[in-house]
Amino acid sequence: MRIGLAYGDVRGQRDPGVIAEQLQATSGTAWISQGPNLDALTTLAVAGEGPAEVGTAVVPFPQRHPLVLASQALTVQAATGNRLTLGIGVGISRMVDGMYGLPTDRPARRLREYLEVLRPLLRGESVDHHGDTLTAVGSVAVEGAKAPPVLVAALGPAMLRVAGELADGTITWMTGPRTLADHVVPSITKAADTPPRIVAGFAVCVTSDEDAVRARFATDFALAGQVPEYRAMLDREGVDGPADVLLAGDEDTISKRLEQLRDTGITDLMLAPVGTAAEQARTTEFLAMRPGGGRRGDPVGAT
């Protein structure tokens, strides 16, 4: 199981210079979340050398036509020496509708059609698509860029089926171990022709004051617990809110939680250190010492 670190809006980071410095100190996998502030793909393109792999987790695609996203992704590939894993998703429906005024009905159908156009474009092929939810005509070519792997943020059965059939795997966020083991892993694996990559995202804090950290997290992420997409996974897990799936505790506690998650069948962890500056530093140092945690000299596929 590989362990990567998450940066960007999920950690409240808005300074691309600071993120670039952190990325350059990372050797494993560095994931950038796409929020309403920094653009994830641009941040990766200008970050320079560092991680063996960089990934987006995730870029909502409704507001980016596949011709546009293919151009952006292939530009990042050229800029990073083909180290990108492209994570995409349909986006949180309240944001897609409320902020952009875009339709959110039939998300699985929209995802399927988008992938049917995006994957050929990433391979440099021409498309002439006139579908139910999307029209795309053209091609994209960026010198030196290879088609990146594509992962999809998928939680429900229909979305996991599409991800298994048309993508290289899935990325989850705040989805607990029981739901991963009993729902996500078997659902996407059944739909896929080859073993999919399954990246499970969590906030994490190595701390001596677990109760205080959970209380702060419950406040800071209260709205996330009301988002229908996340709420469904929290209910499936049988927990009250985001703080209940936060990885928090001392080094021994976090070690046990990581072993529990490894046993769910996931291939990767995407961990976002949270807490005070001192707690985040303690967390990052602890994770760097874990097998697959991205120490300098470790291959990206270390287990």
pLDDT of 174-224, one tens digit each?
999 999 999 999 999 999 999 999 999 999 999 999 999 999 999 999 988
Q: Does residue 142 carry a pLDDT above 60?
A: yes
Q: Give the pLDDT score at 301.
A: 32
When pLDDT is cut at 50, 70 and 90, the band that residue 48 belongs to is confident
Helix/strand/coil for 119? helix
Q: Give the pLDDT score at 46.
A: 86
pLDDT of 264-290, one tens digit each?
999 999 999 999 999 999 999 999 888
Decide if 242 contacts 192 (C-beta within 8 A): no
| Percent with pLDDT over 90 in the chain | 78
Q: Give the pLDDT score at 260.
A: 97
Residue 205 dihedral angles phi and psi, to the nearest 5°: -150, 115
Q: Give the pLDDT score at 6.
A: 94
Q: Which residue has better confidence, 79 or 300?
A: 79
Burial degree of 82 (CB within 10 A; 0-12, 13-18, 19+): middle
Q: Does residue 297 carry a pLDDT above 80?
A: no
**What does the alpha-carbon distance between residue 204 and residue 262 come to, in Å, rounded to a whole number?**
15
When pLDDT is cut at 50, 70 and 90, the band that residue 95 belongs to is confident
Q: Give the pLDDT score at 93.
A: 85
Decide if 131 contacts 84 (C-beta within 8 A): no
Q: Give the pLDDT score at 289.
A: 87
Q: What are the structural domains, with CATH classification, of the chain? A: 2-288 (3.20.20.30)
Helix axes 107-122, 66-80, angle to 10 degrees: 50
Q: Give the pLDDT score at 300.
A: 32
Q: Give the pLDDT score at 292.
A: 65
Q: Give the pLDDT score at 14.
A: 85
Tokens for 215?
A: 């209380």
Q: Give the pLDDT score at 192.
A: 98
**DSSP labels, 171-231:** EEES--HHHIIIIIHHHHHHH-SSPPEEEEEEEEEE-S-HHHHHHHHHHHTTGGGGSHHHH
When pLDDT is cut at 50, 70 and 90, the band that residue 239 belongs to is very high
Q: Give the pLDDT score at 303.
A: 28
Decide if 181 contacts 162 (C-beta within 8 A): no
Decide if 88 contacts 56 (C-beta within 8 A): yes
Q: Give the pLDDT score at 233.
A: 94
Mean pLDDT on 137-165: 97
Q: What is the mean pLDDT of the chain?
A: 92
**How many C-alpha atoms does 303 have within 13 Å on its Cβ side?**
4
Mean pLDDT on 70-93: 96
Tokens for 175?
A: 């989805």
Q: Give the pLDDT score at 302.
A: 31
